[in-house]
Amino acid sequence: MLGDLSLGLTLGYLGIVLTLLSTFMKSMEPLRTVALLGNLVGMSYGFLEAVWPTFFGNLMLLPLNGIRLWEIRKLMRDMESARRDTSIAEVLLPHMKLRRIKAGTTLFHAGDIADEMLYLGSGEIHLVEIDKVLHAGTLFGEVGLFSRDSRRTQTAVCRSDCDLYGMTREQLYALYYQNPKIGFNLMGLLVENLLPKNALKAPAVTAPDAAPRKT
């Protein structure tokens, strides 16, 4: 019976196998890769067997899966090529959403639920409780995002019109879900961003020389 299958039907069954396989995958990179292969196989089946809905359906899904796979791999390259002195914002900025906020706007209050970390592209932000002004080029809000109770520790108010780039908790989780290596590199960059500059450059502490033994 199997020997009587045409090439088109063989490809059709292969497409079903690839589709089922992709549903059991958790990491997004292999999922998108298998889905892309499934689209190509599905298109071939639809063309050879003249099943045009299947052909055009896979034709429309092909560029979507291709773009998503390219985005995942680009992010992986960005994270892996990030040098020790590279700002985390430089790596994440292309994946953050820009919004423009008017002067006097309160971004969040102390005690609010932290659901987003922010990068200040331009303008100034006043942290009320500690009376500190954040300037352009500052990443903030990540502490509350990763704290146990997920609460803001400061009230942030725009002192001027600001360009803010945001990334939600769900987007960060999605980056990790796409590929664990991305999440590992991201956590490393976040830790470096939180540590004081001199802590990263501090020389290793060596044990003092042993006192000379008396004879």
- What pLDDT sits at residue 15? 85
- What pLDDT sits at residue 108? 93
Predicted TM-score (pTM) above 0.75 = no
1: three-class secondary structure by DSSP: coil
Instruction: Specify the CATH superfamily of domain 88-194.
Output: Jelly Rolls (2.60.120.10)
Residue 215 has pLDDT above 50, yes or no: no
What is the per-residue burial (b if ≥16 Cβ within 10 Å, else e) of 98-137? eeebeeeeebbeeebebebbbbbbebbbbbeeeeeebeee
70-74, 161-165, 175-179: which has the highest mean pLDDT?
161-165
Q: In what order do the strands lie in the sheet with 162-168?
A: 97-101, 162-168, 116-122, 138-140
Report pLDDT digits (tens) over 165-183: 998 888 877 777 665 666 6
